[in-house]
Amino acid sequence: MIICPKSMEYPRGNQCQRLQSQVVKKSNNENERPQYLLVKALASRGRLDAVTQQMGYHPQYLDSFLKMQHYLLHMDGPLPFDCRHYIAIMAAARHQCWYLVNLHSFHFLRVGGDPQWLRGLECVPARLRNLNEINKILAHRPWLINRLHIENLLKIREQCWSLAELVHAVVLLAHYHALASFVFGCAQEERTDGRSVLKPSVVGSQCFCDAANGNSNQEILRINRNRSLDSCVELESLRERIHRIHLENENRDERSREHTRLTPPSSMQEREEDLASDIIVAADFSCYVQDPEFGYQDFARRDEEQTQIFRIQDYSWEDHGFSLVNRLYSDIGLLLDEKLRSVDSLQNCNMAKRQGCEASVFKRGIWNYIHCMFGIRYDDYDYAEVNHLLERTLKVYIKTVTCYPEKTNPEMFQQFWKQFKHSEKVHVNLLILEARTQVELLYALRAITQYMI
């Protein structure tokens, strides 16, 4: 598996590019597998981002996650690269996830995106702006999406989408809505003065190239993983510096500022500062969000005449969704399915043992509870088991992270079901991520199927 193409820029320069040729095959030793994945992630990014740090507790899942996300963002597909990152921004903004908005604003500019787009939806092509409606619905009440929403996007004359492009966009939206839940659920964001920021970590001084050369052990990797500087922290610092400069030079001639912005940078640091200065124009989420009052509503309060329960026997991922998405967006179905199966195969027996049940029974209880909150039901499941398996505090945590993650705070992660180890809490959040992704994909793909029929 290759994490990134050779042409990709490396934040740490040529020194860390050595890792790409050194990390070429998987270790057969399970004890070395976490080290292998972390070093390989560093080979592509020059740092370990917050998501990779948390998923690193479950290397098997991290492997499939990185493959799917890399394919979704960087490999051949129906959508241009800048549009992919902008859709990720739109999806993350629905849940006020500053970490993901910052991260993909940065990458949007790196792939040549128009800085004006970062001023908000009013500055993007109508074609992208038209995606806002299903972004809103999928993020909060996916049961409302129907054939007409799909038809509106596919039938608008000059701004129409193709089926393949729409499927690519839907997968991006579902992925980043769920990933926002994971970021908040793992306490990777905290609120400061009404604003979400990534929890900072201590900057490490050692380059990970030494680890790849065998000059380090797994303990050093573990320490450095906790010290790695996340790109969002970089951008936050750069934004503050640029903002101070703007205040000090507010009377400077506009032409001079534009000339400075367009001057080719002499170093990677200057390039990143230049990108950060473009990102600063989007100081809040409102520019990416229309109808901000629209949010999650309990499915039980639905209008019975308009919305029916989604019975998994009528439209399932295995029998319907997988084949449709894989046909319209080649191979993404395989990668999504591999990611889904990898989380299903994770073993955390202690969680289930505390409840006196098998691991599969405990995980199915969490999975079906999440699906039930969005109106998806399994006829062969006794939902009375949910109350038996899941304590009230755990259910409150799962519902908050799944349905309105922006209301999650770091204290919730520390306090929910204190018997959990950190890795077990991350496991629960991986289940939430996958269950929510599948919820959105099932509703969207069923609407697409209805349109096609």
Known catalytic residues are: 97
With tokens 């990777």, the residue in question is 188
Do the beta carbons of residue 93 and residue 288 sit within 8 Å?
A: yes
Question: Whose CA is closest to 436, among 184, 168, 188?
Answer: 184
Q: Is the dihedral of CA 436, 437, 440, 442 positive or negative?
A: negative
Q: What is the 3-state secondary structure (H, E, C) of 265-330?
A: CCCHHHHHHHHHHHHCCCCCCHHHCCCCCCCCCCHHHCCCCCCCCEECCCCCHHHHHHHHHHHHCC
Q: What is the 3-state secondary structure (H, E, C) of 298-315?
A: CHHHCCCCCCCCEECCCC
Q: Is 191 helix (H, G, I), strand (E, B) or coil?
A: strand
Distance separating alpha carbons of residues 3 and 5, to the nearest angstrom: 7
Question: Whose CA is closest to 209, among 223, 221, 219?
Answer: 221
- Given phi > 0 = left and psi -120 to 50 = alpha, else beta, which region is 241? alpha
Q: Is 441 helix (H, G, I), strand (E, B) or coil?
A: helix
Do the beta carbons of residue 328 and residue 171 sit within 8 Å?
A: no
Distance separating alpha carbons of residues 427 and 343, to the nearest angstrom: 8
Question: Whose CA is closest to 179, among 445, 440, 448, 1?
Answer: 440
